[in-house]
Amino acid sequence: MSAGLRRRVTDLACRALQAILPPSLQSWGWAVRCEAASIPDDTKALLFTLDSLCGLMPRAVASHLLYPFASLIGDGAPLSEGSSIMNIFHATMRRPRALGIASAIGAVVLGIVYMAIAGAPMRYLGINAGALVIGLTMLALLGRPVAAGQRWTGVAIIAIAGMLLATAFLGSEVEGAARWVKLGGLAIQPSLILLPVMLVAFCRTRSLPATAGIVAAAAAIALQPDRAMAGMLALCLATLAVIRRDRHVVVALTASVASFAATLAHADTLPAVPYVDQILYSSFNVHAGAGLAVLGGSALLLVPAIVGWSRDADNRATYAVFGAVWFAAIMAAALGNYPTPIVGYGGSAIIGYALSLLALPKLAGASTGVGFGTVGTTDRSPSDHHLLVALA
């Protein structure tokens, strides 16, 4: 290779490096270019440039791959472009919402592994994967920081309660239970999609309209009837009452207990659905790997709540309610013929889990203030705006 050609290759490599580096690493690109230009020997300049290219390229690629997830995390800022794997791990642990996204992806993948081993129809695998894409897309769109007022949370909770009531009266009925809505040939369960985010929203903002919405939702769940969702409602509000009790929580808890009692009075005769119900046990009959995938995926759902509780004392009520929601769903699947969330076949829980991540703070340790205004009680953190807009 001639000296002129070596110098042209060096210049081309420097230009390529500057083109691919993200803005925060552009100074490195300019430094490499200046250093290469100052080296009189063409061969040494070329080797220096290629060595720098190999060193910086992985960081640049990692930064571009992580950038799309920044909007899902909600703070609009990507993880550090110069992160090592450990730095990325620690940064993720500080971001409850990002941790929740990783948990959702991991649980869905493990659920797909279970269904593949168990011989489920291929379209089941595709539907769960598609639900994950839909859920994360909705999370990205609804999680954008737009200012909104507290009053919209109560309105949104009332609107959700209205949808649950409409499902109870107009939804598809099977064996006396009306919990589903037909949509595009698929049966979706609105309560499994909407109730988790509704409960965490109520945890963050409690007001008279929000409490009325919770009471109406409790009535809707009793009418459907859905013992699993009624248990979720009662467990979450009992958890909230222990951590942060006020008159709104007490009223909502009373209604939820009455709803749960009403569902217990009805015999639940729905049979177990293959790949949906009872798979916490039956998966081990298929293969040990399938059973471990189901258990591992179910445990992943609780990781954001456990990590958030230990790292973010200011928002423990939110993490406790979030954890109670999904612990109740898992326990219901263990005790009766109810959908096994995320790891079993069905997109409602997957979308519901993604939407419930809207309520998690952007960063662990973010300051939280507690206000006692005239319209209710608000636990406010920087991510509140996302939740309020999402619900509205």
Please report the pLDDT score of residue 90 as a whole number. 64
Label residue 87 by pLDDT band (50, 70, 90): low
Q: What is the rounded average pLDDT of the residues 251-280?
A: 91
Burial of 290 (0-12, 13-18, 19+ CB in 10 A): buried
User: Greater confidence, 58 or 110?
Assistant: 110
**Is residue 348 pLDDT above 90, yes or no?**
yes
What's the CA gap between 198 and 217, in Å, rounded?
Answer: 10
Instruction: Report residue 368 as tokens.
Output: 């939280």
Q: Give residue 97's identity as a one-letter amino acid code.
A: R
Tokens 């807009």 belong to residue? 389
Identify the bridge partners of residue 188 per DSSP, sorted by sequence position: 181
Please report the pLDDT score of residue 264 as a whole number. 92
Q: What is the rounded average pLDDT of the residues 25-37?
A: 82
What's the CA gap between 346 and 356, in Å, rounded?
Answer: 17
Reported as a single tens digit per residue, the pLDDT across 266-312 is 887 888 899 999 899 899 999 888 999 999 999 999 999 998 888 88
3-state secondary structure of 184: coil
pTM of the predicted protein model:
0.73
Mean pLDDT across the chain: 82
Q: What is the rounded average pLDDT of the residues 9-24?
A: 78
Burial of 171 (0-12, 13-18, 19+ CB in 10 A): buried
**Which of 39-48, 64-73, 288-297, 382-391: highest mean pLDDT?**
288-297
Minimum mean pLDDT among 64-73, 84-93, 128-137: which range?
A: 64-73
Instruction: Report residue 256 as tokens.
Output: 């939820």
Burial of 93 (0-12, 13-18, 19+ CB in 10 A): middle
Please report the pLDDT score of residue 89 as a whole number. 62
Pairing of strands 369-372, 177-183: unpaired
Q: Give residue 194's identity as a one-letter amino acid code.
A: L
- The total of other beta-carbon atoms located within 10 Å of residue 321's CB is 26
**Is residue 98 pLDDT above 60, yes or no?**
yes
**Is residue 203 pLDDT above 80, yes or no?**
yes
Label residue 118 by pLDDT band (50, 70, 90): very high
**Is residue 254 pLDDT above 90, yes or no?**
yes
Identify the bridge partners of residue 142 per DSSP, sorted by sequence position: none
Please report the pLDDT score of residue 221 as a whole number. 95
CA atoms within 13 A on the CB side of 218: 25
Instruction: Report residue 171 as tokens.
Output: 């939804």
Please report the pLDDT score of residue 166 as a whole number. 94
The backbone torsions φ and ψ at residue 339, rounded to the nearest 5 degrees and listed phi first, read: -55, 135
**Is residue 21 pLDDT above 80, yes or no?**
no
**Which of 52-56, 263-267, 292-296: highest mean pLDDT?**
292-296
**Is residue 28 pLDDT above 90, yes or no?**
no
Please report the pLDDT score of residue 110 as a whole number. 93
**Is residue 374 pLDDT above 50, yes or no?**
no
**Is residue 372 pLDDT above 60, yes or no?**
no
Report whether 293 contacts 343 (CB < 8 A).
yes
DSSP string of 207-273? EHHHHHHHHHHHHHHHHTT-HHHHHHHHHHHHHHHHHS--HHHHHHHHHHHHHHHHHHTS---PPPP
Residues of the chain above pLDDT 90, percent? 45
User: Greater confidence, 269 or 246?
Assistant: 246
Reported as a single tens digit per residue, the pLDDT across 147-180 is 455 567 888 899 999 999 999 999 888 888 888 8
Q: Where are the alpha helices (DSSP H) in the chain?
A: 3-20, 26-38, 42-73, 85-93, 96-118, 122-142, 151-170, 190-204, 208-223, 227-243, 247-264, 279-286, 288-300, 303-311, 316-335, 348-356, 384-391
Please report the pLDDT score of residue 382 as a whole number. 45
Q: Give residue 207's identity as a one-letter amino acid code.
A: S
**Is residue 145 pLDDT above 80, yes or no?**
no
Q: What is the rounded average pLDDT of the residues 134-143?
A: 86
Label residue 129 by pLDDT band (50, 70, 90): very high
Identify the bridge partners of residue 10 per DSSP, sorted by sequence position: none
Label residue 327 by pLDDT band (50, 70, 90): very high
**Is residue 111 pLDDT above 50, yes or no?**
yes
**Is residue 367 pLDDT above 70, yes or no?**
no
Q: Cα dist. 22→29, 32, 66 in Å?
A: 10, 15, 12
Please report the pLDDT score of residue 114 as a whole number. 94
3-state secondary structure of 186: strand
What's the CA gap between 7 and 46, in Å, rounded?
Answer: 7
Burial of 294 (0-12, 13-18, 19+ CB in 10 A): buried
Q: Cα dist. 312→11, 220, 356 in Å?
A: 49, 34, 18
